[in-house]
Amino acid sequence: DAFAAGLGDHKIVTTLCPGGKERMRRLMETVRRGRVDLTPLLTHTFALDDITDAYALFGDRKDGVLKVAVRP
Q: Is residue 3 part of a domain?
A: no
Region 21-47: mean pLDDT is: 88
Q: Is residue 36 part of a domain?
A: yes
Q: Is residue 15 part of a domain?
A: no
Number of domains the chain is built from? 1
Q: Is residue 9 part of a domain?
A: no
Alpha carbons 15 and 20: distance in angstroms, whole number: 8
Name the residue range of residue 37's domain.
20-71
- pTM (two decimals): 0.50
Alpha carbons 12 and 21: distance in angstroms, whole number: 13
pLDDT over threshold 90, residue 11: no
Q: Is residue 66 part of a domain?
A: yes
pLDDT over threshold 70, residue 27: yes
Decide if 43 contacts 24 (C-beta within 8 A): no
CB atoms within 10 A of CB 69: 13
